[in-house]
């Protein structure tokens, strides 16, 4: 099969799956478990897409926000998934994913349901849950996200999906209300592998960007001028042009809001730890990733885990007091 033919067939399958999920006569029944900073925005976009969404979280306040966004409250995971066509989870870590699926979803969801975990967890947990799902007769995908809280609210997240190729079109359709782009990374676990590698690269590149701006400042080079030069030269990267860590420079970023919102340092540190754990198990050398983990750990230890990860520039500038 030629590349063009394959692309055409892939698009056709995606179109058919989208039609099935968004048919004019029925709405898709979606169970959404985990309504935190990311999940809250994501579930709201599913409701905006006119799906019937049952939402559950241990936080009553989070559930109330989901109801205000058009969802129906579920009293438990079991109630949320009881007749779901799609189950989407956004949970803190691997143990939570294992527990929710192993103790609740597999026992109470219909076998026809498509299961999609959007949490960022370790690759081993993702593959184990996928294996258990297959043994229980379910279709399952790991589909971690990139984009942060603002993208979750805007419905412009990037999804990296690990699943059977035959299931990808259905997964893509189910994620469409929350997605700017959805990419099939490979088999089960590949989505998580892509996520932690991508975020390790992001963490490293942001540190390099912060160091460069801090040095430019010390050398008397205006941040605006350095931004103009770096964004059009060989130093150009996403951390410079789209997420500049200096306020008042380039497109609006969390730096313009006191480093609030965006992607919390604690979450970046979590992803870097996952990357280092994966590297150790795979026997891969990641010295820059290890250094990035150490610097973000130091920054978080100083009480700034809730600040956007780009705020690490203040550590490198020696101006942590300005974040207090």
d(CA 188, CA 201): 22
Of residues 154, 149, 186, 156, the one with CA closest to residue 171: 186
Query: Is 174 in contact with 115 (CB distance < 8 Å)?
Result: no
Give the distance, in angstroms, between the CA of residue 62 and the centroid of all CA atoms in the same chain.
Answer: 18
Q: What is the SS3 string spanning 102-154?
A: HHHHHHHCCCCCEEEECCCCCHHHHHHHHHHHHHCCCEEEECCEECHHHHHHH
- Biggest alpha carbon–alpha carbon distance for the chain: 64
Q: Which residues are catalytic?
A: 195
- CB-based contacts of 234, cutoff 8 Å, min separation 6: none
């Amino acid at each position: 099969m030629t590349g063009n033919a394959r692309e055409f067939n892939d698009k056709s399958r995606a179109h058919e799956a989208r039609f099935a999920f968004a048919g004019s006569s029925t709405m898709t029944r979606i169970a959404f478990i985990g309504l935190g900073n990311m999940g809250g925005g994501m579930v709201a976009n599913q409701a905006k897409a006119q799906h019937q969404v049952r939402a559950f979280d241990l936080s009553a306040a989070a559930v109330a926000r989901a109801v205000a966004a058009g969802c129906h409250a579920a009293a438990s995971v079991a109630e949320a998934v009881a007749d779901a066509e799609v189950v989407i989870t956004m949970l803190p870590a691997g143990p939570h994913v294992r527990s929710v699926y192993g103790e609740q979803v597999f026992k109470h969801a219909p076998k026809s349901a498509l299961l999609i975990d959007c949490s960022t967890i370790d690759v081993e947990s993702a593959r184990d849950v996928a294996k258990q799902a297959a043994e229980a007769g379910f279709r399952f995908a790991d589909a971690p996200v990139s984009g942060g809280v603002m993208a979750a609210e805007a419905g412009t997240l990037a999804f990296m999906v690990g699943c059977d190729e035959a299931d990808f079109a259905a997964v893509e359709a189910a994620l469409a209300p929350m997605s700017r782009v959805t990419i099939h990374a490979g088999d089960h676990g590949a989505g998580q592998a892509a996520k932690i590698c991508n975020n390790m690269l992001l963490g490293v590149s942001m540190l390099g960007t912060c160091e460069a701006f801090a040095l430019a400042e010390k050398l008397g080079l205006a941040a605006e001028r350095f931004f103009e030069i770096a964004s059009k030269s060989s130093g150009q990267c996403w951390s410079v042009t789209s997420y500049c860590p200096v306020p008042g420079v380039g497109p609006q970023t969390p730096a313009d809001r006191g480093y609030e919102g965006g992607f919390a340092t604690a979450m970046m540190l979590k992803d870097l730890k996952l990357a280092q754990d994966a590297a150790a198990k795979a026997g891969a050398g990641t010295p820059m990733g290890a250094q990035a983990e150490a610097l973000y750990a130091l920054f978080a230890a100083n009480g700034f885990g809730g600040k956007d990860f780009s705020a690490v520039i203040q550590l490198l500038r020696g101006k942590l007091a300005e974040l207090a």
